Amino acid sequence: MTELTAEQIKNILQGIKIPPQPQILVDLQMEQVMPDPDMRQIARLISQDVGLSGTMLKFVNSRFFGLTNKITSIEQAVSLLGLNSVINILNGLSIKGEMTDEAIVNMTRFWDTANDIAMVSATVAKQIGYHSPDAAYSLGLFHNAGIPLMLSRFPNYNEITQQAYATPYERIIDTENRAFNTNHAVVGYYTAKSWNLPRTICEVIAEHHNATSIFANKESKNNDKKTLLAILKIAEHICGNYRVLGQQTVDHEWEEAESDILEHVGLTTIDIDDMKENFGELGVAV
């Protein structure tokens, strides 16, 4: 994305305040850029946040991650996964904790769906051989971070969202732009950017409602960002995002881009149906 001035960004955000990055992630990212990161110090930093470290251990030991042996300590997790993967996972896990508005924290169905999308994204990434399932997981949790921020700023946001999902042949963000002069994808992008998330993840967040035009372009077939976007769109569809956010029975966005997305990752509609069945057995609402 083109770099904008502070004033332009302020206009885009329409009075929305981006939550600060948690101190633990600031500390970890500082350690990450050191010539020789101290893994024990990193494990100690994570372990100080009991809630975050517990959630992280629960994730890496889940069936979705598919490890043979159970991990019992943060030090083991850091040693096995590596610093980049750990930071990707923690970025995703931290976003809910930084949403201080009680109404946002209580958006149970929204957070549950984000968690499902993250888990499915990580699993699809592994299935198609994508090199970074943890990045897919972080993207799944973080990609709609702009939604609760929009909701806290615009009381009628849910109503506009339902209109957006009900409209075929138009991007969801176009409906939002008309109503609010901004949209959740761009708000999510600036949130991810201010948290120093990897550039690829930030850019996919910005583009995640442009799938139709991105996949219609057959150039750069092996583009990393394009594959990550494909994984996210598959996970959103499998988890019924259009039902949860849009209150719709048809996933118009998926119908438009489905064949191009599946062609890009080498999957078929039968594969998607099998995934829905398998994830349903794992307790993911499909």
Q: What is the CA radius of gyration of the chain?
A: 18
- Residue 66 pLDDT > 80: no
Whole-Å CA distances, 111 to 55, 64, 97, 143, 258: 14, 18, 11, 12, 25
CB contact at 8 A, 120 and 235? yes
| Weakest mean pLDDT among 97-106, 155-164, 238-247 | 97-106
Q: Rounded to the nearest 5°, which phi and psi values hold at 116?
A: -60, -45
What confidence score (pLDDT) does residue 221 get?
Answer: 57
With both helix axes pointing from N to C terminus, report the angle between 39-47 and 50-60 in degrees, rounded to the nearest 10: 110
- Residue 262 pLDDT > 80: yes
The pLDDT tens digits for 273-285 are 999 988 887 777 5
What confidence score (pLDDT) does residue 2 get?
Answer: 61
Residue bearing the bigger pLDDT, 197 or 236? 236
What confidence score (pLDDT) does residue 104 get?
Answer: 65
Percent composition of the chain: helix, strand, coil (DSSP 3-state, to 5)? 70, 0, 30
CB contact at 8 A, 233 and 225? no
What confidence score (pLDDT) does residue 101 get?
Answer: 67
- Report d(CA 229, CA 273) in Å as an integer: 19
Q: Which two tokens stand for residue 207?
A: 């583009």
Which residues lie closer than 8 Å to 275 by C-beta, 6 or more apart? 120, 124, 127, 234, 238
What confidence score (pLDDT) does residue 7 get?
Answer: 80
The pLDDT tens digits for 181-208 are 999 999 999 999 998 888 999 999 999 9
Instruction: Round the average pLDDT of the chain to a whole number and report it.
Output: 87
Band (pLDDT 50/70/90 cuts) for residue 237 is: very high
What confidence score (pLDDT) does residue 160 get?
Answer: 95
Q: Which two tokens stand for residue 79?
A: 């040693």
The pLDDT tens digits for 30-64 are 888 888 888 888 888 889 888 888 888 887 887 76
- CB neighbours of residue 278 within 10 Å: 15
Q: What is the pTM of this model?
A: 0.87
Q: Rounded to the nearest 5°, which phi and psi values hold at 195?
A: -90, 5
Where along the chain do its domains lie?
18-82, 95-281
pLDDT > 90: percent of the chain: 42
What confidence score (pLDDT) does residue 143 get?
Answer: 94
| Fold of the domain built from segment(s) 95-281 | Hypothetical protein af1432 (1.10.3210)
Residue bearing the bigger pLDDT, 286 or 231? 231
What confidence score (pLDDT) does residue 272 get?
Answer: 94
The pLDDT tens digits for 108-144 are 788 888 889 998 998 999 999 999 888 998 899 899 9
The pLDDT tens digits for 8-19 are 888 888 888 888
| Weakest mean pLDDT among 84-88, 120-124, 168-172 | 84-88
What confidence score (pLDDT) does residue 26 get?
Answer: 87
Q: Which residue has the tokens 């398998």?
A: 278
